[in-house]
Amino acid sequence: MNLYLSILRPLLFHLDAETAHHATIAACRIAGAMPMSRRLMRAYYDFAAPPLETNVAGLSFLNPVGLAAGWDKNGHALRLLDSWGFGFAEIGSISAAASPGNRRPRLFRLPQDRAIVVNYGLPNDGAEVIAQRLAKHRIQCPLGVNLVKTNQGPDAAASSAEEIVGDYVSSARAVHRQASYLTLNLSCPNAVGGKDFFAQPGAIRQLLTALQPLEIACPLFLKVAPNPDPAEIERLLEECEPFAAVRGFLFNLPVGKAASLALTTPRQVWEKMPGALAGQPVTAISNQCIAEMYQRMPRDRYVIVGGGGVFSAADAYEKIGLGASLIQIYTALVYEGPGIVSRINRGLLQLLAADGFSHIGQAVGSGCRAAL
């Protein structure tokens, strides 16, 4: 019997989405402080298999399935997440200054579409506080820290280029020694301040130049808008080329609920929900971006972390075939619970064997190569 699907999810879905989210994080925080709880979770959820072990951007991963930023915004649940079988985990987004985020309600479920609508607006405790928290506990798997421009609210004055760049630099200075890698979130769809700035030519280069004096030792990944336009991808690659610390890319959620994201849920249910759509409906745009980036990037330098609509091993394997070296999940945890991690990994082993691959790295880009 699946405890999450039969008991926990019905209880959580009786609560509004944000209350359920906070309750889950709080429970994980409490359970993570108990060594016996962590051992039991690890015994139940851990899954290791040499064919899934991979080295990406100089980091070693026991498997390619990780937690996306946005689920554990402040690093409260890391002790327990380390026992759920993830190959890596990413926290945040975090900003230089603490922020309350957007007004509630700001998180909604669309069960018919296995989706959520997210309008959190980057609430977090601030980089200095979170850095101190991370210093007290080092998890076993690689830890990513997602950095973003501080959300100062919808009524705040527009930030200058220097202020935006300085915000990222302050966050990176505070946390880079506690991270296995940093993700620079350059396109948050639910906050005013930074997302349009980095669409301007030269802005990414300006930020990466400002970060150089910090001598950040860990890899940098850039999380960018989900735009498969070849010209935009070429511009991104050109601006990153001089900066050896940049090792890969992630694609963010589309802004709003675009008409291209076909939904089963009636329009009157979701049209007044503020925020961006996450989950199965974003699969197609995510996969388009992964495939386009993989075919254009120097593959001996960059990697892709694929997310968006991963609910099964088949979903993950499709993204790997298009060019993703690692996979992230978030919405799947809401609908499937922590057991989804080991189910994906077990399924990946079967899919690798069916295609005659002995290692996960052999499957990366195999779908693109077959199409050529």
Per-residue pLDDT tens digits of the chain, which is 372 residues long = 688 999 999 999 999 999 999 999 999 999 999 999 999 999 889 888 999 999 999 999 999 999 999 999 999 999 898 899 999 999 999 999 999 999 999 999 999 999 999 999 999 999 999 999 999 888 889 999 999 999 988 778 888 999 999 999 999 999 999 999 999 999 877 665 545 789 899 999 999 999 999 999 899 999 999 999 999 999 999 999 999 999 999 999 988 776 557 789 999 999 899 999 999 999 999 999 999 999 999 999 999 999 999 999 999 999 999 999 999 999 999 999 999 999 999 999 999 999 999 999 999 999 876 554
pLDDT attached to residue 259 = 56
- Distance CA(75)–CA(144), nearest Å, equals 11
- Distance CA(47)–CA(49), nearest Å, equals 7
Give the relative orientation of helices 313-322 and 339-354 as an angle to the nearest 10 degrees: 60
- Report residue 260 as tokens: 């291209």
Dihedral sign of CA atoms 32, 128, 167, 235 in order: negative
Dihedral sign of CA atoms 188, 18, 133, 331 in order: negative
In this structure, what are the phi and psi dihedrals at residue 319, rounded to the nearest 5 degrees? -65, -35
Place of tokens 């249910």: 269
Ordered DSSP codes for 326-369? EEEESHHHHHH-THHHHHHHHHHHHHHHHTT-SSHHHHTTHHHH
pLDDT attached to residue 371 = 52
Hey, which bits of 111-245 come out as E strands? Answer: 115-118, 143-147, 181-185, 220-224
Burial of 140 (0-12, 13-18, 19+ CB in 10 A): exposed
- Distance CA(372)–CA(368), nearest Å, equals 7
pLDDT attached to residue 301 = 97
Dihedral sign of CA atoms 283, 286, 289, 295 in order: negative
**Taking Cα atoms as reference points, which of 363, 360, 353, 365 lies closest to residue 54?**
360
Give the relative orientation of helices 313-322 and 283-296 as an angle to the nearest 10 degrees: 30
Place of tokens 């991270």: 179
∠ CA(238), CA(239), CA(241), 5° rounding? 65
In the three-class reduction of DSSP (H, G, I as helix; E, B as strand; rest coil), residue 40 is classed as helix
